[in-house]
Amino acid sequence: MFIHAVMVAAILVIVWMTNWVYRWRNPRCNGKLPPGSMGFPLLGESIQFFKPVSSFDIHPFVKDRVKRYGKLFKTSLVGCPVIVSTDPDFSHFIFQEGNSLELWYSDSFMKLIGQHKLTTSTGVTHKYLRNMIMDQFGPEKQKEKSLLEMEDMARSTLYSWSKQESVEVKEAVTTMSFGLGSMKICSYDPSKYSENLKDKYTSFIKALICFPFNIPGTLFHKCIKDQRRAISMLKDLLTERLHSAKKYGDFLDVVVEEMKKDDPLFDVESAAYFVFAVLFASFETVALAITLAINFISDHPSVLQDLMIEHDEILRKRENKDSSLTWNEYKSMTFTSHVIDETLRLANIAPLILRRATKDVQVEGYTIPAGWTVMVCPPALHLNPEKYNDTLAFNPWRWKGQGSNTASKNFMAFGGGMRLCAGAEYAKLQISVLLHFLVTKYRWTKIKGGEVVKAPGIIFPNGFHIQVTERQ
């Protein structure tokens, strides 16, 4: 009798598991899902997606599935059902659609950033928050103040590099960019704290997509610990500001003024998470873009030559060669802008952009179910041979005659639509200013490293070391 009961139980378990696996592989949908595979239960196809590659080409995970299923396919990553788009028209539609597709990140990143309502806000709230950020980082503010701040930071940074035998570029640029961003956002002075706020951010880019298992020894666990310390530091700073009449002229002043209103959008907790997210966005991708630009230029002498011609011409036209950069001089840096666009196109610093369907979305005869994640794959757009010749070549001249590139169907380095990166111009300005002083005042030699691995974010496994000397 006991053996019979065990056999019945085993059969029920097998039936349940078989049904569970079947439902995993064949998700419910009020329509027709795009083709693709959901992979193994829970794990999905995460292992293949995270496989490191040492190439700027489209990741084999995406390339193989486009060949097999087409430009739109379904998969599952870190436990989430995902529709991947490599189609320019559909990707453009995703950025324009604000009613049925909301801004989204992975579950792990959402837990680290916190405050889902503010992070994924839409409509009036999103517009209000965006205007707050644009007031600090938009073009008008940059004309008034940011250009001089960036010049001071670039001059002091490059001078310090020239006094060192070797500089690891990514770390050095991150320190510079964080210093600038934290100064503009919260007038942060590391000397006042026992811990450095920058150190709490170092692992966050790796947590953009990972399993959100808060278990000691995991990447996510370390990120959670660092996040808690960073949030605690920012809460202390906000509390101090709330009880002080002193004004600093930074972004935190704007946030604190909002907190003092009769019906405030923030309390201390949500304000700390909001500032945390803005600060992260202000430096990490900019630092990576600068590092990659210097790396590309190092490997392409003809690019360096044309950069020097452009920037030397700016100095030649001045009455005083040592005077500060002007906004008109920045806007004249045409080839520099091409170098930045080409760096962003080829490197694909943001290898994926996520949205989440708030209701069923119909597209090209398929249905994207509510609750599913939609992932736009910029590399597939930026390395499209139908749009770009010799896609893996670093060729800034390909942008000649195309004007300023921020967002289009075939170029989405800064996203697009209502969610176009509010700091796009700020990022380009910071890169341009540093390159101006690097090529006019200094020379550099590549010592070691510079090799890139994408997993899916970009890392330099051997660093990127250069020696900087003053230009004779």
Environment class of 287 (CB within 10 Å of its CB; exposed 0-12, middle 13-18, buried 19+) = buried
> Is 80 annotated for ligand binding?
no
Nearest CA to 86 among 384, 391, 380?
380
Nearest CA to 209 among 67, 361, 59, 69?
59
Q: Mark out the alpha helices in 114-218 (DSSP H runs).
A: 116-119, 123-137, 139-141, 147-162, 169-186
pLDDT for the residue numbered 356: 87
Nearest CA to 145 among 180, 118, 94, 191?
180
pLDDT for the residue numbered 382: 93
Rounded-to-integer distance, Cα 193 and Cα 189, Å: 8
pLDDT for the residue numbered 389: 93
Strand partners of residue 353: 376
CA angle, residues 72, 75, 77, in degrees to nearest 5: 130
* 456 cis-preceded (ω within 30 degrees of 0): yes
pLDDT for the residue numbered 299: 96
Nearest CA to 378 among 355, 405, 346?
346
Q: Per-domain residue ranges for the chain?
A: 2-470
pLDDT for the residue numbered 307: 97
Nearest CA to 393 among 431, 350, 456, 343?
343
Rounded-to-integer distance, Cα 472 and Cα 466, Å: 18
pLDDT for the residue numbered 116: 47
Quick one: fold of 2-470?
Cytochrome p450 (1.10.630)
Pairing outcome for strands 373-376 and 80-85: parallel
Note down pLDDT in tens along the chain; length 472 residues. Answer: 556 555 555 555 555 455 545 566 668 888 889 999 998 887 888 889 888 899 999 999 999 999 999 999 999 988 889 999 999 888 888 877 666 777 776 666 666 666 445 555 555 666 677 777 777 777 766 676 789 999 999 999 999 999 999 999 999 999 999 999 889 888 888 777 767 888 777 666 666 566 666 778 777 788 888 888 888 889 999 999 988 888 888 888 889 888 888 888 888 888 898 888 888 888 888 999 999 999 999 999 999 999 999 999 999 999 888 889 999 999 999 999 999 999 999 998 888 888 888 888 888 889 999 989 999 999 999 999 989 999 999 999 999 987 666 657 788 887 766 566 777 888 999 999 999 999 999 999 999 999 999 877 888 999 999 999 998 8
pLDDT for the residue numbered 407: 59
The interaxial angle of helices 251-259 and 169-186, nearest 10 deg, is 40
C-alpha R_g of the chain = 24
Residue recorded with tokens 């065990």: 6
